[in-house]
Amino acid sequence: MKLLLSLLLIWLTTTSALAFDRQHTAFDTLLKKHVYWDSTGVASKVDYAGFQQDWPQLKTYLDELSAVKRVAFDRWSKPTRLAFLINAYNAFTIQLILSGYPDIASIKDLGSLFSSPWSKKFFVLFGKRRSLDNIEHDMIRVPGAYDDPRIHFSVVCASIGCPGLRNEAFTGSQLDQQLEDSLRRFLADHSRNRYDSQQKSLYVSKLFDWYADDFAGGFRGHESVLSFLRDYADTLAANPTEREEILNEKVGVDFLNYDWSLNKYVP
């Protein structure tokens, strides 16, 4: 009897794992339709009105995310698991925005005096009511799980100050390339990250301040925010001289104000 139950559990787990589309095709289609890169390709805007019109398709995808069992998820490869969590964060963020759209100017409008919008438990994942904070901090950022600070340029908080939401879903097979591309696009936006050769200082997004420990956590051998940014001197610098100054780490790091305005696309 115990053997039969074990075999049944394995069968149910395998069936659940195979049933979910790990290419996230439905979400990919919606992102391609409703997310627009700017002319320079470093920032994107989201057509939330378009997502509202396609709510049935988005709702179907969200339900599919919620239906995945934790035991099935745990059997996937590490890149496939992280891609799933990033897509879930971004998709549920869109759902949260739609709950107040068009009567909001910022995701912060969906919070209250006593709780942030990120702490709201408004969806189900792995059988429990969850918040966006649960995905980011308790699943993605938890030490030892993925330990990749590039996720901060891939989970998007629906704001102008955020890195651009990609117009494609993340997948396990392309994850490393997508994480790197999202980071480089963000750093190439000199309204949010730039080097001032006069001041000998890098002026970068507040993300690097809020999550400084992640960037100094040993990823690729880095032990500080400046050490991490050094790898991207070619993107941050305007010329070879500036590049050498950044590479030699003879620069300071200052943090720019964060723009929480909604990243909405207006035709």
Task: Convert the pLDDT of each residue in 4-16 to its tens digit.
Answer: 554 444 445 444 4
Ramachandran area for residue 24 (φ above 0: left; ψ -120 to 50: alpha; else beta): left
Share of the chain above pLDDT 90, in %: 87
Residue 126 has pLDDT above 90, yes or no: yes
Instruction: Write out pLDDT tens, residues 10-51.
Output: 445 444 445 899 999 999 999 999 999 999 999 999 999 999
- The answer to whether 119 and 133 are in contact (CB under 8 A) is yes
When pLDDT is averaged across residues 55-75 and rounded to a whole number, the result is 98
Choose the weakest-confidence range: 179-188, 200-209, 216-225, 233-242. 216-225
How far is it, in rounded angstroms, from Cα 188 to Cα 253?
Answer: 16
What confidence score (pLDDT) does residue 113 get? 80
How far is it, in rounded angstroms, from Cα 179 to Cα 181?
Answer: 6
When pLDDT is averaged across residues 103-120 and rounded to a whole number, the result is 94
Alpha-carbon distance values, 57 to 74, 94, 157, 206 (Å): 26, 13, 21, 34
When pLDDT is averaged across residues 57-78 and rounded to a whole number, the result is 98
How far is it, in rounded angstroms, from Cα 121 to Cα 28?
Answer: 25
SS3 of 162, please? coil
85, containing H or E segment: helix 78-98
When pLDDT is averaged across residues 247-263 and rounded to a whole number, the result is 95
What confidence score (pLDDT) does residue 5 get? 52
Instruction: Write out pLDDT tens, residues 148-200.
Output: 999 999 999 999 999 999 999 999 999 999 999 999 999 999 999 999 999 99
Higher pLDDT, 146 or 113: 146
Residue 203 has pLDDT above 90, yes or no: yes
When pLDDT is averaged across residues 66-93 and rounded to a whole number, the result is 98
SS3 of 121, please? coil
Residue 235 has pLDDT above 70, yes or no: yes
Residue 216 has pLDDT above 60, yes or no: yes
